Amino acid sequence: MLDVINLKKFFDTPAGKIHSVDGVSFHINRGETLGLVGESGCGKTTTGRTIIKLYEPDEGKIIFNGQDITRLPPDKMLGLRKKIQMIFQDPYASLNPRMTAGDIVREPLIIHGFPKKEQADRVDYLLNLVGLNSEQAGRYPHEFSGGQRQRIGIARALAVEPELIICDEPISALDVSIQAQIVNMLEDLQKNLGLTYLFIAHDLSMVKHISSRVAVMYLGKIVELAESEELYSRPLHPYTVSLLSSIPVPDPDKSDKLKNIPLAGEIPSALNPPSGCNFHTRCPKARQECKTLEAVLKDTGAGHLCSCPFI
């Protein structure tokens, strides 16, 4: 369904150019969930926003359903918006406080020209689909809990029957007790509506639960990509190994036996990323060649991609 090829997005600042997304490539098959994980500031959200054209890409290609949408003119964007929707991270900031829940869900129906007589029934259907009810349509966002607000955001994303939904850390702002409910609901919606997800998150346990495949991002680049079970059971890249070692284990007997692998130093600045492999400044296995050798994703077998040249 989606092919992202060598995607780049830079931001100009007084201090210089920020390399937010620097040569990212991946594909998403119809009906699957691709998880995109990494530390805060690695470029995950910018990748999602660039795919949906909230940011214009600087280089690379975005192919959706066989169509190159990289430089799609504004007058052609409306049809694309109907097929690709986004669930935003913060349910407190992504809903208009002056609009009721019903109006928020109805707005995309109006924009995309759904018949007026069908809109009210569609809004009721969507609210019920996400675990709310039509009686709550007249309430304002401040009258809902965080989890309920995110349900409204999901209903809004589903309003125009999209094919691909970019989930930008949709559970990170929610209580832990609510996160599993939202993820389970997203899985049910995917099965029932035939949806495809790009699931951006930093909660590695949740990503393993929901994703078919997982891509690991570091400082604007994807360093590893594999099937979910394969990546979690056999991580190859030193960064992925360290990242997975930080997942807390609730069983104290097991957690005592597991070795946490902390990384030395701080994440380099995206204003001036390291030469060669951009992870070499923190990599416990770095060699002299890593400072100059370009790290390129390569298939190590069975579709398990890794950018470390020494794997």
Could you tell me the residue ranges of all domains in the chain? 2-211, 237-311
CATH code, 2-211: 3.40.50.300
**Distance between CA 83 and CA 52 in Å, rounded?**
10
**Distance between CA 259 and CA 261 in Å, rounded?**
6
* Res 205: pLDDT: 83
**Distance between CA 238 and CA 282 in Å, rounded?**
10
Closest CA to 278 of 225, 236, 235, 218: 218
**Distance between CA 22 and CA 222 in Å, rounded?**
9
Closest CA to 231 of 302, 132, 297: 302
* Res 32: pLDDT: 97
Closest CA to 128 of 154, 104, 95: 154
**Distance between CA 182 and CA 159 in Å, rounded?**
17
Rg, the chain, Cα only: 20
* Environment class of 97 (CB within 10 Å of its CB; exposed 0-12, middle 13-18, buried 19+): exposed
* Environment class of 74 (CB within 10 Å of its CB; exposed 0-12, middle 13-18, buried 19+): exposed
The model carries a pTM of: 0.92
Residue 87 three-state SS = strand
Q: Are 121 and 109 in contact (CB under 8 A)?
A: no
**Distance between CA 38 and CA 251 in Å, rounded?**
25
Q: Are 160 and 80 in contact (CB under 8 A)?
A: no
Per-residue pLDDT of the chain (311 residues; tens, 9 = 90+): 999 999 999 999 999 999 999 999 999 999 999 999 998 889 999 999 999 999 999 999 999 999 999 998 877 888 888 999 999 998 889 999 999 999 999 999 999 999 999 999 999 999 999 999 989 999 999 999 999 999 999 999 999 999 999 999 998 878 888 888 999 999 999 999 999 999 999 888 889 989 999 999 999 999 999 999 999 999 999 999 998 888 776 666 554 445 677 787 788 899 999 999 999 999 988 899 999 988 899 999 889 999 998 88
Residues belonging to the chain: 311
* Res 81: pLDDT: 87
**Distance between CA 108 and CA 47 in Å, rounded?**
23
From residue 124, give the alpha-carbon distance in Å to each of 101, 106, 130, 186.
11, 10, 10, 18
Kind of pairing, strands 213-218 and 33-37? parallel
